[in-house]
Structure 1
Amino acid sequence: MNRKSVRVFLFLFVFHSSVGEAQSLQETVNKFAAHPEFEHASIGVYAIDVNTKQVLMDYGGGRLLAPASTTKLFSTALALDVLGGDYRPVTSLYYNGMIKDSVLTGDVWIIGGGDMSLGSKYFAKNDRDGFLREWASELKKKGIGSINGIIYADGSGFGYEGVPDDWLWGDIGNYYGAHFSGIMLYDNLVEYHFKTSTAGKPAELVYTFPKIDALQFINNVVSSTKSGDNSYIFGAPYSFVREGRGTLPQNMADFLVKGSLPDPELQLGIEFDRVLSEMGIMHEGPSLSTRLTHLSPPAGTWQKVIEYNGKTLREIVRETNYESINVFAEGLMRLTSYVKTGDGTHEKSSGYMQSYWKEKLKTNALFLSDGSGLARTNAIDAKTMCELLVYMDTSTGKADFYNSLPVAGVSGTLKNVAKNQAAHGKIHAKSGTMRRTKSYAGYAETTSGKKIAFAFIVNNYTGSNKDVTTQMEVLMNELVKQ
Structure 2
Amino acid sequence: MQRLSFTVLFLWFVLPVSAQSLAQRIATAFRAFETHESLANGVASLTVVNAATGEVLFAKNEKLGMAPASTLKTVTSATAYYLLGAGHTFETKLYYTGQIDAAGTLKGDLVIQGSGDPSLGSDRFPQTADTVLLTAWLQAVRTAGIRKIEGRIVADDRLYNGQTAPRGWTWQDMGNYYGAGVSALNWRENAVGVNFIAGASPETATRIANTTADVGYLQLINETTTGNRGTGDRVYAFSAPYSSRIYLRGTYGIDLKKTIYLSLPDGAYDAAYQLQRALQRHGVDVIGTPTTTHLLLLAGSSLPSGGRIIHTYRSPTLGELIYWFNQKSINLYGEAFLLAMAQHQTGKTNTRDGAEMLQEYWSTKLALPSGELKIMDGSGLSPENRITTHALARVLTSVKGEPWFASFFESLPTYNGMKMKSGTIGGVLGYVGYQTSKDGTPLVFALLVNNYNGTATPMRKRMFQLLDMLK
Common fold by TM > 0.5: yes
State the Cα distance separating 1:296 from its structure 2 match. 6.8
Give 1:3's aligned residue. none
Give 1:377's aligned residue. 384
Give 2:429's aligned residue. 438
CA distance in 2, matches of 1:226, 1:236: 31
Q: SS of 2:123's equivalent?
A: coil
Per-residue deviation, residues 183-202 of structure 1 (Å, max 9, x unmatched): 11111112111111212221
CA distance in 1, matches of 2:258, 2:193: 10
**CA contact 1:174–1:232 (8 Å) conserved in 2:** yes
Give 2:121's aligned residue. 119
1:6-85 alignment runs, 5 A limit: 20-85=21-86
CA distance in 1, matches of 2:93, 2:303: 12
Give 1:343's aligned residue. 348
**Pair 167,367 (structure 1): closer, same or farther in 2 beyond 3 Å:** same
2:300 paired with 1:305: no
- Which residue identity is paired with 2:269? L
Q: SS of 2:181's equivalent?
A: coil
CA distance in 2, matches of 1:21, 1:96: 67
2:216 paired with 1:213: yes
Give 1:11's aligned residue. none
Give 2:6's aligned residue. none
Q: 2:172 aligns with which of 170, 173, 185?
A: 170
Give 2:245's aligned residue. 241
CA distance in 1, matches of 2:192, 2:394: 38
**Pair 477,88 (structure 1): closer, same or farther in 2 beyond 3 Å:** same
Give 1:396's aligned residue. 403
Q: 2:155 aligns with which of 135, 153, 156?
A: 153
CA distance in 2, matches of 1:39, 1:201: 39
Per-residue deviation, residues 225-261 of structure 1 (Å, max 9, x unmatched): 2421111111111101111111112266x64211111
**CA contact 2:296–2:303 (8 Å) conserved in 1:** no
CA distance in 1, matches of 2:304, 2:236: 42
Q: SS of 1:129's equivalent?
A: helix
2:274 paired with 1:261: no
Per-residue deviation, residues 362-420 of structure 1 (Å, max 9, x unmatched): 11221010111111111100011000001111233312111110122xxxxxxxxx2xx
Give 1:449's aligned residue. 440
Give 1:230's aligned residue. 234
Out of 27-36 and 258-267, give the one that drifted further.
27-36
Q: SS of 1:430's equivalent?
A: strand
**CA contact 2:43–2:451 (8 Å) conserved in 1:** yes
State the Cα distance separating 1:161 from its structure 2 match. 5.7
Q: SS of 1:374's equivalent?
A: coil
CA distance in 1, matches of 2:21, 2:288: 75
Give 1:287's aligned residue. 290
CA distance in 2, matches of 1:145, 1:449: 66
Give 2:281's aligned residue. 278
Q: SS of 2:130's equivalent?
A: coil
State the Cα distance separating 1:262 from its structure 2 match. 1.4
**Pair 166,18 (structure 1): closer, same or farther in 2 beyond 3 Å:** farther
Q: SS of 2:443's equivalent?
A: strand
Out of 304-313 and 210-219, give the one that drifted further.
210-219
CA distance in 2, matches of 1:461, 1:370: 24
CA distance in 1, matches of 2:263, 2:110: 27
Give 1:472's aligned residue. 463
Give 1:360's aligned residue. 365
CA distance in 2, matches of 1:129, 1:293: 27
**CA contact 1:191–1:208 (8 Å) conserved in 2:** yes
Per-residue deviation, residues 302-337 of structure 1 (Å, max 9, x unmatched): 111222101211111010101111111111111222
CA distance in 1, matches of 2:127, 2:226: 29
Alignment identity in percent? 30
State the Cα distance separating 1:270 from its structure 2 match. 0.6
Q: 1:407 aligns with which of 404, 414, 418?
A: 414
- Which residue identity is paired with 1:336? M
Out of 32-41 and 59-68, give the one that drifted further.
32-41
Q: 1:387 aligns with which of 382, 387, 394?
A: 394
Q: SS of 2:276's equivalent?
A: helix
- Which residue identity is paired with 2:399? M
Aligned residues: 446
State the Cα distance separating 1:127 from its structure 2 match. 4.8
Unaligned runs of 5+ in 1: 1-16, 409-417, 419-423
Out of 158-167 and 468-477, give the one that drifted further.
158-167
CA distance in 2, matches of 1:372, 1:290: 26
Give 1:179's aligned residue. 181
Give 2:12's aligned residue. none
Give 2:7's aligned residue. none
**CA contact 2:180–2:264 (8 Å) conserved in 1:** yes
Per-residue deviation, residues 128-177 of structure 1 (Å, max 9, x unmatched): 32112112212222222222211111111112362122111111111111
- Which residue identity is paired with 1:137? Q
CA distance in 2, matches of 1:132, 1:229: 32
**CA contact 1:437–1:460 (8 Å) conserved in 2:** yes
CA distance in 2, matches of 1:378, 1:138: 44
Give 2:9's aligned residue. none
